[in-house]
Amino acid sequence: MTGNKTALKLLGLAALLAFPVLPISSEYVMHVAVLIMVYAVLAMGLNVLPGFCNLLDLGYVGFYGIGAYTAGILAYNHNVSFWLIVPGAVALGALCGILRGAPTLRLSGDYFAIVTFGFTELVVLFLTNEIWLTRGPLGLPGIPPIALSLEFLGIDWRYDFLSEVPYYYLGLAMVAAVYVVMCRIEDSRLGRAWLAIKEDPLAAASCGINLMAYKTVAFAFSAGVGALAGCFMAQWSMFLAPDVFKFWESFLVLCMIVLGGLGNINGAIVGAVVLIALGEILRVVLPKFGLPAETRFLVYGLIMILIMRFKPGGFFPAIAATSKKSRLILDLKARLEAERAG
Partner 1 sequence: MFEQQLFNGLTLGLIYALIAVGYTMVYGVIELINFAHGEVYMLGAFLCITFIQALGVPLFPAMALAMAFCAGIGVLIDQIAYKPLRKAPRLAALITAIGVSIFLQNIAMIIWGSRPVPFTRSAVPAAFSETAFTLGSVNVSGLQVFIYALTIAMMIGLTLIINKTKVGTAMRALAQNATAAALMGINVNRVISFTFALGSGLGAVAGILVGMYYNTLSATMGYNAGVKAFAAAVLGGIGSVPGAMLGGVVLGVAETLGAGYVSSQYRDGLGYAVMIAVILLRPSGLLGKSVGQKA
Residues making contact with partner 1 (CB under 8 A): 50, 54, 56, 58, 103-104, 106-111, 113-115, 117-119, 121-122, 125, 128-129, 197, 201-202, 205, 211, 247-248, 251, 254, 258, 262, 291-292, 294-295, 297-298, 300-305, 308-309, 312, 341
Minimum distance from CB of 183 to partner 1 (Å)? 23
By C-alpha distance, which of 63, 62, 18 is closest to 247?
62
Contact 32, 236 (CB under 8 A): no
- Count of H helices and E strands in the chain? 14, 4
Q: Which is nearer to partner 1, 12 or 301 (CB)?
A: 301
Between CA 112 and CA 212 the distance in angstroms is 13
Contact 217, 94 (CB under 8 A): no
Q: Which is nearer to partner 1, 86 or 115 (CB)?
A: 115
Crossing angle of helices 27-47/61-78, nearest 10°? Answer: 120
Between CA 287 and CA 36 the distance in angstroms is 23
* Cβ atoms within 10 Å, residue 37: 28
Minimum distance from CB of 319 to partner 1 (Å)? 16
Strands 158-160 and 147-149: antiparallel
Strands 140-141 and 239-240: antiparallel
Q: Which is nearer to partner 1, 88 or 109 (CB)?
A: 109
Q: Which is nearer to partner 1, 232 or 300 (CB)?
A: 300
Minimum distance from CB of 68 to partner 1 (Å)? 20
Between CA 85 and CA 72 the distance in angstroms is 9
Minimum distance from CB of 87 to partner 1 (Å)? 28
Minimum distance from CB of 304 to partner 1 (Å)? 3
Q: Which is nearer to partner 1, 71 or 244 (CB)?
A: 244
Helix (H/G/I), strand (E/B), else coil: 28: helix
Minimum distance from CB of 195 to partner 1 (Å)? 14
Minimum distance from CB of 135 to partner 1 (Å)? 15
Q: Which is nearer to partner 1, 226 or 314 (CB)?
A: 314
Q: Which amino acid is at 239?
A: F
Q: Which is nearer to partner 1, 8 or 306 (CB)?
A: 306
